[in-house]
Amino acid sequence: MSLVESEGTAAPAGNAAAYSVSELAFALKRTIEDAYGFVRLRGEISKVTRHASGHIYLSLKDDKSAIDAVVWKGSVRGLQCQPETGLEVIVTGRITTYPARSSYQMVIESMEPAGVGALLAQLERLKAKMQAEGLFEAARKRALPTSPAVIGVITSPTGAVIRDILHRIRDRWPCRVMVWPVVVQGAEAAAQVAAAVRGFNALDGSGDLPRPELIIVARGGGSIEDLWPFNDEALARTVAASAIPLISAVGHETDTTLIDFVSDRRAPTPTAAAEMATPVLADLKATVLNFEQRTARCIQRAMELRRARLDGASRGLPRPEALLGLASQRFDLAAGRLTAGLSRNVAAHERDLVRTAARLTPQQLQRPIILRAERLASLTPRLDAATRRLVERREERLERADRLLRSLHPEAPLARGFALVRKPDGTLVRSAAVLKPGDAVSLKFADGSADATVDGAPPRPAERKPAPQKGNPDQGNLF
């Protein structure tokens, strides 16, 4: 500050306009973004922070410098590898500034490991993490079905892998194969394979699509970069959570991916996976035939053994004639006595029948009938008199009811000069207060009906006379 300014006199203004802090900050921001709108950068990741909003904040460094970076939430899922501390990566994006702190940072749009060594290091760290969680334990792996009726295959529909699997299954075992087409290479491969595993597990078998009893995830061989989607952590956890047994057949025999460790069985090749999944029908037929022959031989040996044992036991038994001789003799004696006994029984019953028939005569049978007829004849006059009295009482009651009915009939007063007054809708007029001048009414007499119109005002109701006061009328009322 000059001496003139300190004494309160104004200094002469210069030609340059004064920037505000925000103007300068945003001018620098536009300049840097225009100059570094696309940057490809290689470095080591450090200070990884995953925010609750889904954004990832990190730093990229080398042996001399470091730069802050951010991965917005929408770009996280498209990364080829997830940021981890110590991982060397190659990122692409743009440089921008954060005016509130006068700092600059890189907005990362894509990220890939810097080399095979970095990929393997990342894979080893992920394997150690999942092994510590127990996802590689043999106790959690399920046995494969021995004779599956439906097999689900997750692979590319255009490669040679699916043709090899179908051909091998067709030669070995008759079953239904459901193919879920996916891409098996690139950024979208892991997400599509995981979605296919979840899709097969979501089937309940109630519709047209049956539920697979076994799943095969297959892909041909390739470099570690080509097979890297099958090292995805989300895919590995989806395979581990599958309720359907799963065979991993990714790459050749020397290739190993992360899902090989979490699957229920690993196949060295896709063709080997088809052989693991299905039995050989011819071998099963031969096995069944062998069991049938062995069963027949066992039954034959058992029958021969029991026949020999029966022959040995029969030699120790007495002859049938000796066992049945006494019983046969007793049967003959009883049969001889049976004929004479039957004859005597018939003769005794015949004598009893003759004695009983002698006591049965027509007069004895007719006597109860005669007695009942005489009793009925004595009761007939009394019954006729009682019936006549009952009929007379009923006739008297019927006459009284008929007289009462005629006296209560609603049209009986018409013969004495009365008339029924009805409205046009047929309702009966019971009071003159409901009628107004000009209303149409119908009058019914004893000999016919006539229509009429009400004329004049309706009569006023009769006024009640006041009740006479008790006591002296000249005396005043105190209340």
The predicted-structure confidence for 13-62, as pLDDT tens digits, reads as follows 557 778 888 888 888 888 888 888 889 998 888 888 988 888 999 999 88
| Alpha carbons 456 and 370: distance in angstroms, whole number | 89
As a whole-number percent, the residues of the chain with pLDDT over 90 amount to: 32
Of 92, 95, 102, residue with least CA distance to 43:
92
For the chain, the residue count is 479
Q: Domains along the chain?
A: 21-114 (2.40.50.140), 147-279 (3.40.50.10550), 413-444 (no CATH)
Q: Among 91-95, 142-146, 340-344, name the one with the lowest average pLDDT.
A: 340-344
Buried b (16+ CB within 10 A) or exposed e, 136-168: beeeeeeebbeebebbbbbbbeeeebbebbeeb
Rounded to 10°, the helix 189-202/233-240 angle is 20
Residue with tokens 């210069």: 14
Residue 296: its H or E element: helix 281-315
Is residue 262 within 8 Å of 253, Cβ to Cβ?
Answer: no
Please tell me the predicted confidence (pLDDT) of residue 299.
95
Is residue 44 within 8 Å of 88, Cβ to Cβ?
Answer: yes
What value does the mean pLDDT of the chain take? 84
The predicted-structure confidence for 111-149, as pLDDT tens digits, reads as follows 887 765 666 777 788 888 898 999 999 899 999 998 899
| Alpha carbons 88 and 83: distance in angstroms, whole number | 9
| Alpha carbons 266 and 247: distance in angstroms, whole number | 6
What is each CA distance from 126 to 42, 121, 233, 267, 362, in whole angstroms? 22, 9, 7, 22, 120
- Which pLDDT band, with edges at 50, 70 and 90, does 166 fall under? very high
C-alpha 185 chain-centroid distance: 37
Strands 103-113 and 66-71: parallel
| Alpha carbons 47 and 57: distance in angstroms, whole number | 8
Token representation of residue 430: 């019971």
Rounded to 10°, the helix 160-172/270-277 angle is 30
The SS3 of residue 323 is helix
